Structure 1
Amino acid sequence: MLPGLAEESADWGGRLEAAVAGLRVVRAESLGAAAEVIGAADAAYGVLPAELLERAERLRWLQAPQAGPAPEFYYPALVEHPVVVTNMRDTYTDHVAAHTLAMVLAMARGLPRYVRDQQTATWAPDWDPGSVLALGEASALVVGAGAVGAEVGRLLSEFGVAVTGVDARITQAPKGFVAMRPVDELDELLPTADIVVLTVPHTPATEGMIDAARLKLFKPTALFVNVGRGPTVRLDDLAESRLGGIALDVFETEPLPSAHPLWSRPDVLITPHVAGAGPHAAERRFAVLLENTRRFLAGDPLINQVDKAQRF
């Protein structure tokens, strides 16, 4: 029984029942409706508030509808509960990686400046060699070498960038990386990087990991990109920093307040949390749900399991 399918997945219940013999799916249209059926549910898809968890007498699996749900998804009672939580990670890796590369390339070639000049019909070519970052001579630090980070590093390496990864769990260098380093070496690595890309999830350990102290360790010419989660970077500290370029798709506060100084900085490239946009997203999420449903009924290990205390 899978109560609580999201609106985008209105037909998923029927598709699951057709694909998996012996499965019964209940779509709960409201919190009240979910409360009536959750007690008999073995599994659920969606967000499970505390008042529903209290009624979930049989629940053994909860499939989160996102790769990185909001922090409040993992409230203390859910963390302590024996229910296994899985998420939707690696369903839009290619989209986020392509978006990241577009940001890096735009900054490396000074395109944000020329886009601004275009708005005022200003012809101002910059032939200063220092205005361009030669990627074949550059080094990058990819902080977070999971699915997205690994693909970002691979793409950067195709342009000749020497890519080093930093991760709390991953020790083996993904394709295209020259090395992997533990998180406790981040401070000594930051001053060496021409490009710093942040792809880490929002966890208790990563919240505010890029702050004023760490920003002072960056090269003054470094390019910084955040496509992971907004709360990992202190925006006010970033607004006061001086770097070669800043590209952000996620923000500590969303939407980014219209009066925030980052909007008007000429060295900042902003996109409104759209790095994951692209085709096939719903079908990819359904594929994860279908695979885990089959595994759940067969008693096999589920994919995309989450460490609830760490939120990833």
Structure 2
Amino acid sequence: MAVSPAAGILRVLKGGGSLPLTPRRPAVEPARVGEAVPAFLVTTPASRPDLTLLFFHGGGFTGGSTAGHLDLCARLADAAGAGVFSVDYRLAPEHPFPAAVADCLAAYRYLLAEGHSPAGIVPVGISAGGTLVISMLLAARDAGVAMPAAAVSLSPAVDMLFLGESVLFNQETDWLTPNHLVGILKDYIAGHDPTDPLASPLYADLQGLPPMLVQAGGGEILIDGIAAFVSAAALQGVSVTFDCAEGMFHCWQAFAAVLPEGAAAVERVGAFVRRWVAEE
């Protein structure tokens, strides 16, 4: 019986292997948020100057970089017709919570100071970056900063208590493990209250946030928490779209180069962004 591309990729990831990807090669221009935070403007021929995706990479709050997400950034740029401003926020354990949240808010403030209209900015993040999108929005709202046009959160960790039953029952359908979650608590939360709303948006007052796309895989160990967050957001008046891809594992979008379901998910992100940001 033939193995599906998704099943084959999951098998490799669960075994600790890597995939031979041929990433797209966008134009990359270095920038900097303040003195300490590197950032990069990623563009393709499809990028338009009045639309910017503020991108936060994944990596469990302890790893990852723009360099490791260039293919995804390029695909998001093409799908949305946007430039992508990707931020290499500070990482734990050297810089535990809330350092990354502060860096992401500083990046949003930087774009505004550079003359970007909030109506032309859409924060997008994957995994830890998906969490940071929501955390940044909460911090910006509380600081009285204008909200962006919309936001996209891909496979976020929204509950640092990790109470969802899927953490136990979806271990066969995801490469992310409970041990990864223990590492996040140890290195990123680092003794802080795990129910702090900026760490665990599930427990936040979500009123006033912009329209949001939350995309996750039905096979993720985090899916129960993500679904609970979506329900909480909707009950609090947020215009939230929940895009749950049946059977998909954590961050399947990052494998769009070899996974049709990943490429389709990125296209849906682009359609959502274009819906909320009118072309000038």
User: Could you say whether these structures have the same fold, taking a TM-score greater than 0.5 normalized by the shorter chain as the test?
Assistant: no
* Structure with bigger RCO (C-alpha 8 Å, 6+ apart): 2
Greater radius of gyration (CA):
1
Whose strand fraction is larger, Structure 1's or Structure 2's? 2
Q: TM-score, normalised by structure 1?
A: 0.35
Q: TM-score, normalised by structure 2?
A: 0.38
